[in-house]
Amino acid sequence: MSELVFFSGTMDCGKSTLALQIGHNRSARGLQGVIFTRDDRAGEGKLSSRLGLVTEAVEAGPGRDLYGYVVDQVSRGGKVDYVIVDEAQFLAPEQVDQLARIVDDLDLDVFAFGIMTDFRTRLFPGSQRLIELADRLETLQVEAMCWCGARATHNARTVGGAMVVEGEQVVVGDVNRPAEDVGYEVLCRRHHRRRMTSASAHAGALSPDVLPVSAG
């Protein structure tokens, strides 16, 4: 029976790499799929991994009917055996409903990949709807690490290396951006709560001791 599966994890835990691997494994068996993505770091219509792998994809922008796109492909004689969706957290809730319809009405497996929460620790609307509708939720086992060495559980937005907690929910960036740019860093809960990024921790370690020291 076909399923809607939601693979989730923090940034930098290999979601896009797994999406590419699933597509590769199926294409090696003669299966053909539709790959959707949204706001990928490599640009529009791309599915890319930080390992350097990249493939063409269909940009699932606002208003695109994902169910209608797949139906159109099939009606034109195209072969569609499965669907992959990367950056699924950016989808509108109604687009997630369309993914569920692909599974139920077209009997196709849909593999969605995304992060659960934004830089404010709030659920993305697309991720929330996937949690509500998915047949199966999978947490990726490759754990990203906070700068302190602990398991990273939260995504932080940074500007100039400093963590920010206000702004638009969606601002495209990456964990490998220069410190002066808008970027992202994965942190453990403790350091996310303290707003302590690797840059601020390093700066703190280099700061002179400001406590008074008695001569005696």
- Give the pLDDT confidence of 116-150 residue by residue, as tens digits: 998 888 999 999 999 999 999 998 877 788 999 99
pLDDT range class, residue 112, cuts 50, 70, 90: very high
pLDDT range class, residue 63, cuts 50, 70, 90: very high
pLDDT range class, residue 168, cuts 50, 70, 90: confident
pLDDT averaged over every residue in the chain = 86
Tell me the percentage of the chain whose pLDDT exceeds 90. 54
**Do residues 124 and 10 lie in contact, with contact meaning Cβ atoms separated by under 8 Å?**
no
pLDDT range class, residue 57, cuts 50, 70, 90: very high
* pTM greater than 0.75 (yes/no): yes
Q: Which of 56, 59, 87, 168 is catalytic?
A: 87
pLDDT range class, residue 56, cuts 50, 70, 90: confident
Which DSSP category does 176 fall into? T
Which residues carry a binding-site annotation? Answer: 9-16, 86-89
Which residues carry a binding-site annotation for ATP? Answer: 9-16, 86-89
Q: Specify whether 59 is catalytic.
A: no
